[in-house]
Amino acid sequence: MRKSLWIICLAMFLVFGLALMAGAATKVRVMWAEYDGLTPEYAANLEKAFEEKHPDIDLEIISTPWNDMHDRLITYIAGGNAPDLSVIGTRWLLELMDMGVVEPIEQHLSPELLDNIDPALFEGKIKGVVYGLPVAAGTRVMYWRSDLLDKAPETFEEMRTMLEKVAKPEENFYGIALTGQKYVELTEFAYFLFGNDGYFFDVNEDGSYGKCIVNNEAGVSTLTFMNNLVKDNLTQPGVTAYKRDEVQNLFISGNAAIMMTGGFGATLLTQQNVPFKWDVAPLPHFEGKPQSSLIVTDAMVMFNDSKAKAEASKFLDFFYSDEWRLEFDKLVGFPPVTKSLADNEFFQTPVYKYMVDQIAGAKPWPLMAEWPECNDLIWDNIEATFLGQKTPQQAMDDAAAAIDALRGL
Amino acid sequence: MNRKTTHYLVYPAIIFVLLVLLFPFFVMVSTMLKPLEEVYSNPPHWIPKNLTFTNFSDIWSKYPLVAYFKNSFIVAIGTTVFNMLLCVPAAYAIARLRFIGKNFMMYLFLVVQMFSPIIVVISLFKIVARLGLLDNLLSLVLTNGVFTLAFAIWLLSGYFRGIPKAIEEAALIDGCSRLQTITRILIPIAMPGLVTTIIYTFISAWNEFMFALTFITSMEKRPLTLGLYNFIGRWTVQWQYLMAAAFLALIPVVILFMIIEKELVQGLAGGAVKG
Amino acid sequence: MSRAGKFWTTESRLAYLLLIPSAVFLIVFMFYPIFYVFLMSLFKVNKLANLTGFYGMGNFITLFKLPEFWQIIIRSCIWTALAVTAKTVIGLIIALLLNVDFRGRKLARTLIIIPWASSVPISAMLWQWTYNNDFGLLNYTLRWLGLNPPVWLAFPFSAFMANIWVDIWCGIPFMALVFLAGLQAIPQELYEAAEVDGATSVSKFRFVTLPLLSGVLTVATLLSILWTFNDFNVIYILTKGGPANSTDILITYIYKYAFQYIKFGPSAAMAVITFAILLTVSIIYARNFFREGAQ
């Protein structure tokens, strides 16, 4: 009796093992971001369609909420289980390179795919080699109430004057809705700073970053300007409590005249059928300074531990086909990254137009491994000014000193 | 103070407590019954002008809620069973038996509680991957089980300790086996404590987020806690959907509690104490 | 009896048998991770969480040099002390109330569990929505009552209070339930005997209820201390430690260092410091518990 039991177990084990080996297709794991607007069916359909076309490849799309993307990726990498491909915010690229885990993806991409990408979007190109394939890219724009303002302000000074006329804080109507809570990105400081011809670091000839310059004239006057907006009640009260989505909601509910955010704002405004007239415009700039928006790109990176690089590349070819990219771009609210879709009629609305036009003059986040810590240091000091704990000069001096110390400069 | 006065004080006190504690729950209900246009009205209002249930039908059709519920149940029930199997004997040993190293064991269990999941998640991830349990609900049963085990042992042993040994000793003298004293005497009396431990374990596993996020990768295996994050995006939070889904996620826990609650009421069976 | 004999009594053999399964699982799943945390705190750790060289107290010294580090430790202790006290007191009061036999008690008991029934991240999101100054119903209601509430999450003090309240709110049902179960085990006869002796409600509470509840009280508050000290989700979701670092506690700092800055060394060192603090508290606390157990 016992002996037959063992034989049965052994047989089951063999059959099981054989079954496992028989179905051994190459596995490609893609860490996929849940973009707002992207439906769960999109990823499911993409996976199915790809596997139908390539029956020898087993595609696993690991869907992750955006806000947890970074932390989950770090856990996977540190846990020795990195995926083959992942969507990342390009600002994380240097961090990942510092960990030594990313592959120069361009070696594995088909030339057709590489050629089809708008060259201006290659933020993930480090020292001439592409590490990050652009997935989504957009500049930030200004939304304004066209029923209350005669025109879109071109300069921040002009904006201030216009807001002084329309802001009615007693009636819960605010001039500009501003974020002040430490969030993933340093907006809106970046919007104002870039428009003041400022930046976070000195950029050397070879593209590397020098000292932190947020405490120079541009940085401090920017922060002072923002503080004055708050002090003079041209923003909503309690700025330091507001995250980006809350600022958007304030504009959408009709309580603010201006907000600055990404292209998805238009999607939200349309979705909610707002009863007021609104319009889009490029971000303002300070008088005498060049216009410069913030450009943020997301990229697809390949990990060097991957055992399925060729197959992963096939997935990218599939995903970047017009059919799939068009649906993706329509859903997520970013202008297309592929040249072949640039002239598609869907993207000829003002929102897309301004987002694309601003690309040439826009600046990205600094691409450095220590950026998350620098981001925090600057944000904490900015909040300190909003709370009246420090003056803008003090705050930026402290931030710059801490950042330089951190980077060993 | 006589009975009547006590009663008159209790009612307003309870109502006040419930109003304060359930305040956000009322907010949840108010939001989930509003259509999108009403969610962001400033100033807000409590009663929806256009009461609607479309939020529920929307999330039900767009997302595999049934799968999320099923997965949460598997994890929660699995963890509770696993936990009870291990913790009842362990708590008995600590509360009733003499052995060397008892204090050391207690401290060992306690030490485990001092490390938040965040700190150990990367190493646990390596272990789970090594065991081949990635994207497997069993990984959640085991990790949740382990994390709630220490707490449960402490809790339950505390309850066991609070029950006088006299009853069991009397039964032993009368000829009962040790097992019989446990099942027929100790456990029934300790039922309120047992029930509390069960509820604690179930709720901890039902609501666990960090391990679910780390170990589960496919959409179909997601438990509810992860599923709810579908509504929290990079640009916006869909509050009306989030509230509706969160409300649905509450229901099984509340129902479980309602079923189990009467066990909580049982005091010391009068007969057991006398004599 | 020889020492070996004392070790292997039937009683202790049974005890070890009953404890072995639990111990095994704990060792397999927790021993390696916790051990690795201790290792990381003493080594230089690269961004892949691998050890690259002995560092001794280096990570700890880096932490001690941080200007805000001591503030964060103190704030973590204040956070824990305030929250646990509030949860215990409120939980006990509610348990006493729910112990009285009144009509609708079953409904009240079921409703009490709701704050605990939803997961902490979701509860934190719910409170974020409630605290919102424009769309949140809290400030709306407070203004309707004629009060002038602040924008809760905007200022250091109100943000800290707002965070603590959410932690307390989430923890009250558990405490209430634990105490209620404990109260149930107190025989009615003891109260009746006390009444015969002329005891008032207050002295009944002091001399009957509290002593018999003390075991459960100690365990519940001790575990609540451990839990509350490491309560990450509430603060991270509501304020991320802001504004201007005013709500950062040790666990949010640990998270930042590990997952945002990818500095596992200092993060592990902070975990070890957390452990040291909690262990000290536990030892002092649990001495009461063990002393009783010797009855």
Note the pLDDT tens digit of each residue in A9-53: 565 555 555 544 444 678 999 999 999 988 888 999 999 999 999
Task: Tell me how far apart the alpha carbons of residues B21 and C176 are, in angstroms, rounded to a whole number.
Answer: 12
Neighbours of chain A (3+ CB pairs under 8 A): B, C
Query: Within its chain, how far is the Cα of C138 from the centroid?
Result: 26
Tell whether B40 lies on the interface with C, counting CB pairs under 8 A: yes
Task: Identify from A172, A173, A383, A394 which residue to disrupt to test chain C contact, counting C C-beta atoms within 10 A and taking the largest count.
Answer: A383
More confident call, A322 vs B186: A322
pLDDT band at C211 (very low <50, low <70, confident <90, very high): confident
More confident call, A230 vs B108: A230
Domain C59-293 in this protein, CATH class: mainly alpha
Tell whether B175 lies on the interface with C, counting CB pairs under 8 A: no
Look at A149-158, C102-111, C187-196 and tell me which has the smallest mean pLDDT. C187-196
Whether the predicted pLDDT of A337 surpasses 80: yes
Task: Tell me how far apart the alpha carbons of residues A136 and A36 are, in angstroms, rounded to a whole number.
Answer: 12
Cα-Cα-Cα-Cα dihedral sign, residues C96, C102, C108, C110:
positive
Task: Tell me how far apart the alpha carbons of residues B9 and B5 are, in angstroms, rounded to a whole number.
Answer: 6
Tell whether B225 lies on the interface with C, counting CB pairs under 8 A: yes
Q: State the helix-helix crossing angle for C264-293 and B137-161, rounded to 10 degrees.
A: 30
Structure tokens at B28: 């949840």
Q: Which of C133, C150, C240 sits opposite A182 (nearest CB)?
A: C240
Task: Identify from C133, C161, C236, C253 which residue to disrupt to test chain A contact, counting A C-beta atoms within 10 A and taking the largest count.
Answer: C133
Q: Shortest Cα distance from C156 to chain B (angstroms)?
A: 22
Cα-Cα-Cα-Cα dihedral sign, residues C76, C78, C83, C88:
positive
Query: Within its chain, how far is the Cα of C248 from the centroid?
Result: 16
Do the strands A57-65 and A26-34 form a parallel or antiparallel pair, or are they unpaired? parallel
- Chain B residue whose CA is closest to A29: B217
Q: Please name the residues between 196 and 235 in chain A that touch chain B, using a CB distance below 8 Å.
A: none
Q: Shortest Cα distance from B156 to chain A (angstroms)?
A: 34
- Residues C188-198: tens digit of each pLDDT: 788 888 888 87
Tell whether A347 lies on the interface with B, counting CB pairs under 8 A: no
Query: Within its chain, how far is the Cα of B25 from the centroid?
Result: 18
| The amino acid at C247 | T
Q: Which residues pair with A34 in a beta bridge?
A: A65
Neighbours of chain B (3+ CB pairs under 8 A): A, C
Which segments of A231-387 are extended strands (E)?
256-261, 278-282, 295-302
- Chain B residue whose CA is closest to A80: B126
Domain boundaries, chain C: 59-293
Residue percentage of chain C with pLDDT more than 70? 95
Task: Tell me how far apart the alpha carbons of residues A332 and B83 are, in angstroms, rounded to a whole number.
Answer: 44
- Residues A204-226: tens digit of each pLDDT: 988 889 999 999 999 999 999 99
- In B, which residues are within 8 Å of C34 by CB distance? 111-112, 115, 120
As a whole number, mean pLDDT of residues A187-202 equals 93
CA atoms within 13 A on the CB side of C268: 31
Complex ipTM value: 0.87
- Residues C146-182: tens digit of each pLDDT: 999 999 999 999 999 999 999 999 999 999 988 888 8
What are the CA-CA distances from residue C285 to residues B160, B162, C83, C122, C227 (Å)? 19, 18, 17, 32, 15
Phi and psi dihedrals of B66, rounded to 5? -60, -45
Q: From A275, A379, A270, select the one nearest A330 (Cα to Cα).
A: A270
Query: Within its chain, how far is the Cα of C35 from the centroid?
Result: 23
* DSSP assignment of C123-177: HHHHHHHHH-TTT-HHHHHHHHTT-----GGGSHHHHHHHHHHHHHHHHHHHHHH
Interface of A with C (CB under 8 A): 70-71, 74-75, 77-79, 95, 98-101, 172, 180-183, 236-241, 246, 249-250, 253, 255, 370, 372-373, 376, 379-381, 383-384, 386-387, 389
Contact C264, C54 (CB under 8 A): no
Contact B136, B220 (CB under 8 A): no
pLDDT band at B270 (very low <50, low <70, confident <90, very high): very low
Contact B191, B159 (CB under 8 A): no
Query: Within its chain, how far is the Cα of A268 from the centroid?
Result: 17
Q: Which of C135, C152, C258 sits opposite A241 (nearest CB)?
A: C152
Say if the Cβ atoms of B23 and C22 lie within 8 Å.
no
Residues 6+ apart with CB under 8 A from B259: none
- Chain A residue whose CA is closest to B40: A253
Q: From A303, A372, A309, select the one nearest A73 (Cα to Cα).
A: A303
Task: Tell me how far apart the alpha carbons of residues C194 and C210 are, in angstroms, rounded to a whole number.
Answer: 14
* Predicted local distance difference test score (pLDDT) of residue B267: 41
Say if the Cβ atoms of C172 and B21 lie within 8 Å.
yes
Q: Please name the residues between 153 and 172 in chain B that touch chain C, using a CB distance below 8 Å.
A: 153-155, 158-159, 161-163
* Predicted local distance difference test score (pLDDT) of residue B271: 27
Structure tokens at C226: 């451990």
- Residues A387-400: tens digit of each pLDDT: 999 999 999 999 99
Whether the predicted pLDDT of B1 surpasses 50: no
- In C, which residues are within 8 Å of A102 by CB distance? none
* Predicted local distance difference test score (pLDDT) of residue B273: 31
* Predicted local distance difference test score (pLDDT) of residue B266: 54
Say if the Cβ atoms of B17 and C94 lie within 8 Å.
yes
- Chain B residue whose CA is closest to A75: B122
Task: Tell me how far apart the alpha carbons of residues B269 and B248 are, in angstroms, rounded to a whole number.
Answer: 37
- In C, which residues are within 8 Å of B265 by CB distance? 184
Task: Tell me how far apart the alpha carbons of residues A385 and A391 are, in angstroms, rounded to a whole number.
Answer: 6
Query: Residue written as tokens 């709720």?
Result: B203
Say if the Cβ atoms of C11 and B99 lie within 8 Å.
yes
* Predicted local distance difference test score (pLDDT) of residue A284: 96
Say if the Cβ atoms of B233 and A35 lie within 8 Å.
yes
* Predicted local distance difference test score (pLDDT) of residue A21: 46
Query: Residue written as tokens 């190293």?
Result: B101
Whether the predicted pLDDT of A114 surpasses 80: yes
Say if the Cβ atoms of A40 and B230 lie within 8 Å.
yes
What are the CA-CA distances from residue B190 to residues A344, B28, B164, B185 (Å)? 71, 36, 11, 9
Phi and psi dihedrals of C41, rounded to 5? -70, -20
Q: From A38, A39, A60, A36, select the one nearest A48 (Cα to Cα).
A: A60
Whether the predicted pLDDT of C187 surpasses 80: no
Task: Tell me how far apart the alpha carbons of residues B127 and B211 are, in angstroms, rounded to a whole number.
Answer: 13
Q: From B6, B254, B93, select the one nearest C102 (Cα to Cα).
A: B6
- In A, which residues are within 8 Å of B230 by CB distance? 34, 40, 65
Task: Tell me how far apart the alpha carbons of residues A29 and C233 are, in angstroms, rounded to a whole number.
Answer: 29
Q: Shortest Cα distance from A246 to chain B (angstroms)?
A: 8
As a whole number, mean pLDDT of residues C213-242 equals 89
Task: Tell me how far apart the alpha carbons of residues A374 and A234 are, in angstroms, rounded to a whole number.
Answer: 29
* DSSP assignment of A137-152: EEE-EEEEETTTSSS-
Tell whether B272 lies on the interface with C, counting CB pairs under 8 A: no
Task: Tell me how far apart the alpha carbons of residues A163 and A300 are, in angstroms, rounded to a whole number.
Answer: 41
* Predicted local distance difference test score (pLDDT) of residue C42: 94
Q: Which residues pair with B102 in a beta bridge?
A: none
Taking the CA atoms of residue B252, residue B253, residue B258 and residue B264 in that order, the dihedral angle to the nearest 10 degrees is 150
Residues 6+ apart with CB under 8 A from C99: C180, C183, C184
Q: Shortest Cα distance from C265 to chain B (angstroms)?
A: 12
Q: From C180, C21, C192, select the one nearest C110 (Cα to Cα).
A: C180
pLDDT band at A250 (very low <50, low <70, confident <90, very high): very high
DSSP 8-state code for residue C185:
T
Query: Residue written as tokens 């059928």?
Result: A273
Whether the predicted pLDDT of A314 surpasses 90: yes
- List, in order of start, the domains of chain B with CATH numbers: 3-51 (no CATH), 63-272 (1.10.3720.10)
Q: From B242, B66, B106, select the one nearest C222 (Cα to Cα).
A: B106
